[in-house]
Structure 1
Amino acid sequence: MTSTTRAWYTVALLCAMAVMSYLDRYIIALLADPIIAEFAITTTDVGLLIGLGFGLVYAIAGVPLAHWLDQGQRVRIVAFGVALWSLCTASSGIAPDYPTLLASRVGVAIGEAVLVPATISLIGDLFEPHRRTLPIAVFMGTASLMGSGAFIIGGLAYQFANVLAPDLEMEAWRLTMIMVGIPGLILAPLLLLSVAEPARTVAHQAETEDSSIRAVANHLSAHLRYYLPFFMALGISAIGTFSLISWSSAMLSRSYNMPLAAAGSLYGTAGLLAGILAAIFWPAASAWAQRKHKAYLNMLFMAAGLGAAQLSMALIPWAGSQAVALGSIAVAIFGIAASGTLAVIILQSAAPPLMRARITSLYVLTGNLIGLTVGPPLSAWISENLYSGQDAMRSTFGLLGMVLLPTVFILLLIATSGYRKCLEETV
């Protein structure tokens, strides 16, 4: 294989891992109702599985793991992470109680925390600077699509598990967990056997660059006007993002009396179509900005996308039919994808080469420490305590959208001027 072919093969394999990562991450949300029924727990308890059990650990583990990635053998670390999260997902299918299921989710979180920072770091060494936007967009686009696609695949797996479960004398949700954990145990050794660790190639100005933790802190401090509002916006907007992803299928099932698998498939299909359009539109918009030498427009594009997403969430309580609700969800996912794609491009364009993985890990940290840790349990709590009835989650989406819209938009506008200054210094 040529070097270009090897580079794209590596990206394809990392994308396949991203597919399994998001499937293993969100399968709990799809299976919430049967888990609630078997363990006699609440929606908020399932929110804690997604938030505290996964999101908090995922966010905290990302920073030290990213430091390890900047110094160590990234391919081996990724393979270990994939094997760990896959094994823990499969073991969730035999969890005897809620605490054991929670412990399994902790293992999933630790394993998955390596993938995004490792991928951004590897792409930085596999591609020349002017060729990095496309592979980053492909990987992040895959991740964005799987925010919805996971529910299609998970719904199909759950339907198949329902067929097999009686013969195997096992609950369908448990069999589903085992099934979705197996592919990662194949991908991990495949990565080790077929991908060599690329040489770390850094820009000329980075040849003598200090890459210590103190240097990273100094860089962030020097550009606080960019990083602080930017990371705040990412974290706060992620509350709505992860709430929508985690509870949309449950909302459709409860508000419109749909079977669980059908609700998951419809949500996944609407989100997937919106995600495909977004995966084309947002990278194209970013590439246009780069050609015009106006990279700072990426920040404004992201503000527009997230604004559209949060406005759509605010309107969901007034969706009189499942078709209108699905349309609102689709618009929201299209807007959310701007963050998933453009945030990494924004960070990569301004971060010093030897700090990319750690600064990217801060993106993962803020999004997950605030969004994933807080979002799903908070929205579940609001739906159970501030609202009631089958439309409680729908009303919760509306409340979140109305609060997040002005907050995130203002923060991103503030971050834009600091980002422009950081770009000027990088060039």
Structure 2
Amino acid sequence: MGWKNHPRAVLAALLAVHVLAHIDRNMLLGFSPQVTRELALSNAQYGLLTGAVWVLSFGVMAVVLGSLADRFSRTWVMAGGILVWSACTAASGAAQDFGQMVAARFFVASGEAALVPAAISLLTEIFPDRRRGGAIGVFFMGIPLGIGFSFVLAGTLGAAEGWRTTFFLLGAVGVACALPLLLLPDRRAAVAAPAPAQRTPVRAHLRAVVATLREAPAVAPTIVGFVLVHMAFAGLAFTQLWLVRERGLDAATIARQVGMLQLAFGALGALVGGFVGDGAARRMRGGHAGFILLLLAVCGPLMLAYRFAAPGSLLFYAGMCAGFFLPLATYGPANALIQSQTPPHMRSTMTGVTMMLINLFAIAGGNLAVGAVSDRLAAGAHAAPLTAVLLATDLAALASAFFFLRAAVRGRAPLPDAPPVQAVLH
């Protein structure tokens, strides 16, 4: 139990692992010209690798591994996931054709699905409620940091050693990170791990998800709102195409600007959303949900104005940065709210369900919808098809305010440590 007495050290270690996860996840994007050329991949094949192959694996396994993390050792589940994704990251470097790369990336996604559900449950246990959102916000800094470092490594180490060697080295680093976790026993607090829940069948455990949603009425609208906010990420995937094709900006220049601003304001959003959200939640009537409503009210008008502002103007960059800031700023307060309203033995599972819905509906479905609708508008001679569709993704993200408002109204005090849906597990 000694390692749990050092929550900041645990948070730092989990952040480092989360950064590594997003480096491994996004390294394929950094090496896209080299990989597609050497493996003779079409654009469609590359799109499958970065989209459907990843999302389907990650989404399903997030629920399965979240359930395992609730019933068994979270440290072992994380260690197993890191070993799988690291071994398959190395295997990505050895791939000789599309099929081999599909298999490798599928299992990279499966392994990475173990991290977030187990880590969020662990952080919820070792950090008090008043600091929980800040801790979760720091953890989710791994997303922008990992994306940024993946491109940096591709341009430095990758340029010197090649993409295959870089994948091999990342795999070795991951294995080295996983092994110490196997030595850390996850002895949960007695109230956080009732004995019947640890060995309950998976089907019964997943049925308890529905019971939890009934018991905690603020959780369902928070999850729906959280999924909708991620429609901003669907728009982000097409941002550079929009800026070049319809706003007339230089591709190389805007790529550097988008990368740096996304890294800076994504990380800032995670920090502000986490730490400021914790303080605001104690003072605002709507708690964490009320704070997210405030974020939407501030960032929303800027995001919409950005679509029509003159390129290079202050309003243009303010709106762009607001779009990078907002989604990451919701991670701390939204997850803190979900965790506080979820029984301790269901927290990893509920996080897994949330991650699955985000990946299936916002990331995969959102990207597919943006591409398909913009193609259809372009075929119909629409003057600015991407502008129209990306404006729709912004409006979808801002529509999350309706659900966060419902969460703020329905919100109540955190559930007691003794789980109220225990009978469901028998």
Same fold? TM cut 0.5: yes
Asked if residue 10 in structure 1 is aligned to residue 2 in structure 2, the reply is: no
Closer, same or farther in 2 for the Cα pair 1:2/1:83, shift >3 Å?
closer
- Gap runs ≥5 in structure 1: 166-171
Tell me the distance in 2 between the aligned counterparts of 1:160 and 1:393: 36
Asked if residue 305 in structure 1 is aligned to residue 290 in structure 2, the reply is: no
Tell me which of 319, 329, 339 is aligned to 1:338: 329
**What residue is the counterpart of 1:136 in the other structure?**
136
| Paired residue type of 2:257 | L
Alignment deviations for residues 248-285 of structure 1 (CA, whole Å, 9 cap, x no partner): 466667763334xx765533321232234324422333
State the shift of 1:99 in Å.
3.3
State the shift of 1:329 in Å.
2.9
Whether the aligned pair in 2 keeps the contact of 1:235 and 1:371 (CA below 8 Å) is: yes
**What residue is the counterpart of 1:168 in the other structure?**
none
**What residue is the counterpart of 1:219 in the other structure?**
212
**What residue is the counterpart of 2:311 in the other structure?**
321
Asked if residue 86 in structure 1 is aligned to residue 82 in structure 2, the reply is: no
State the shift of 1:297 in Å.
2.7
Whether the aligned pair in 1 keeps the contact of 2:71 and 2:197 (CA below 8 Å) is: no
Tell me the distance in 2 between the aligned counterparts of 1:70 and 1:50: 29
**What residue is the counterpart of 1:70 in the other structure?**
70
Closer, same or farther in 2 for the Cα pair 1:135/1:24, shift >3 Å?
same
Closer, same or farther in 2 for the Cα pair 1:2/1:161, shift >3 Å?
closer
Asked if residue 286 in structure 1 is aligned to residue 277 in structure 2, the reply is: yes
| Paired residue type of 2:262 | G
| Paired residue type of 2:189 | T
Tell me which of 364, 378, 390 is aligned to 2:369: 378
Give SS of 1:185's match.
Answer: helix
**What residue is the counterpart of 2:403 in the other structure?**
411
**What residue is the counterpart of 1:240 in the other structure?**
232
Alignment deviations for residues 188-221 of structure 1 (CA, whole Å, 9 cap, x no partner): 124335xx223211549x8699685244422213
**What residue is the counterpart of 1:275 in the other structure?**
266
Tell me the distance in 2 between the aligned counterparts of 1:33 and 1:306: 37
Closer, same or farther in 2 for the Cα pair 1:216/1:25, shift >3 Å?
same
Tell me the distance in 1 between the aligned counterparts of 2:36 and 2:97: 11
Alignment deviations for residues 374-411 of structure 1 (CA, whole Å, 9 cap, x no partner): 2334334445453489x989536633334414532222
Tell me the distance in 1 between the aligned counterparts of 2:191 and 2:281: 19
Tell me the distance in 1 between the aligned counterparts of 2:3 and 2:116: 22
- TM-score if structure 2 supplies the norm length? 0.80
Asked if residue 115 in structure 1 is aligned to residue 115 in structure 2, the reply is: yes
Asked if residue 156 in structure 1 is aligned to residue 149 in structure 2, the reply is: no
Whether the aligned pair in 1 keeps the contact of 2:82 and 2:178 (CA below 8 Å) is: yes
| Paired residue type of 2:155 | Q
Closer, same or farther in 2 for the Cα pair 1:373/1:405, shift >3 Å?
closer
Moved more, 399-408 or 308-317: 308-317
Closer, same or farther in 2 for the Cα pair 1:396/1:309, shift >3 Å?
farther
Moved more, 301-310 or 108-117: 301-310
| Paired residue type of 1:258 | A
What's the % identity of the aligned pairs? 24
Whether the aligned pair in 1 keeps the contact of 2:232 and 2:394 (CA below 8 Å) is: no
Whether the aligned pair in 2 keeps the contact of 1:227 and 1:415 (CA below 8 Å) is: yes
State the shift of 1:319 in Å.
5.2
Closer, same or farther in 2 for the Cα pair 1:279/1:192, shift >3 Å?
same
How many residue pairs get matched?
Answer: 405
| Paired residue type of 2:391 | L
| Paired residue type of 1:256 | L
Whether the aligned pair in 2 keeps the contact of 1:58 and 1:110 (CA below 8 Å) is: yes
**What residue is the counterpart of 2:176 in the other structure?**
186
By percentage of residues, which structure has more helix?
1
Asked if residue 198 in structure 1 is aligned to residue 148 in structure 2, the reply is: no
Asked if residue 258 in structure 1 is aligned to residue 254 in structure 2, the reply is: no
Give SS of 1:303's match.
Answer: helix
| Paired residue type of 2:354 | Y
Whether the aligned pair in 2 keeps the contact of 1:384 and 1:392 (CA below 8 Å) is: no
Tell me the distance in 1 between the aligned counterparts of 2:243 and 2:167: 22
Closer, same or farther in 2 for the Cα pair 1:67/1:163, shift >3 Å?
closer
State the shift of 1:61 in Å.
0.9
Tell me the distance in 1 between the aligned counterparts of 2:384 and 2:50: 19
State the shift of 1:57 in Å.
1.5
Alignment deviations for residues 167-191 of structure 1 (CA, whole Å, 9 cap, x no partner): xxxxx55555445444322211243
Alignment deviations for residues 273-303 of structure 1 (CA, whole Å, 9 cap, x no partner): 22343244223332223443x5733112223
Give SS of 1:423's match.
Answer: coil
Whether the aligned pair in 2 keeps the contact of 1:309 and 1:332 (CA below 8 Å) is: yes
Tell me the distance in 1 between the aligned counterparts of 2:321 and 2:222: 25
Whether the aligned pair in 2 keeps the contact of 1:312 and 1:401 (CA below 8 Å) is: no
Alignment deviations for residues 283-338 of structure 1 (CA, whole Å, 9 cap, x no partner): 3332223443x573311222343465565554454454367665433211211122
Moved more, 71-80 or 266-275: 266-275
Tell me the distance in 2 between the aligned counterparts of 1:252 and 1:32: 20
| Paired residue type of 2:278 | A
**What residue is the counterpart of 2:352 in the other structure?**
361
- Gap runs ≥5 in structure 2: 199-203, 418-426
Whether the aligned pair in 1 keeps the contact of 2:62 and 2:356 (CA below 8 Å) is: yes
Alignment deviations for residues 318-363 of structure 1 (CA, whole Å, 9 cap, x no partner): 4543676654332112111222111111111111122111122222
Whether the aligned pair in 2 keeps the contact of 1:233 and 1:411 (CA below 8 Å) is: yes
Whether the aligned pair in 2 keeps the contact of 1:250 and 1:263 (CA below 8 Å) is: no
Give SS of 2:399's match.
Answer: helix
Whether the aligned pair in 2 keeps the contact of 1:247 and 1:393 (CA below 8 Å) is: no
